[in-house]
Amino acid sequence: MVISNNNFHIGNSAEFNSFMKSYYGWFFKIFENTKTVTGAVINMNWLP
């Protein structure tokens, strides 16, 4: 998905570096979103 959306040609070293930056940014965002959702679940009132 990262490759096709940004039209990267990973055989080129400059584009491979751009791809890696995009991939790590995407991966970090997943981690941040998981942390946010987990925090929201922990703070919910689960008792009736």
Burial class (CB in 10 A: 0-12, 13-18, 19+), 2: middle
* Per-residue pLDDT at 1 exceeds 70: no
Q: Which residue in 37, 12, 42, 31 sits closest to 20, CA to CA?
A: 12
**Residue 14 DSSP symbol:** H
For tokens 């070293």, the residue is: 13
C-alpha to C-alpha distance for 32 and 40, rounded to whole angstroms: 12
46 within 8 A of 25, measured Cβ to Cβ: no
pLDDT digits (tens, 9 = 90+) for 5-42: 667 677 777 878 888 888 899 899 999 999 999 999 99
pLDDT value of position 3: 54
- Model's pTM, two decimal places? 0.59
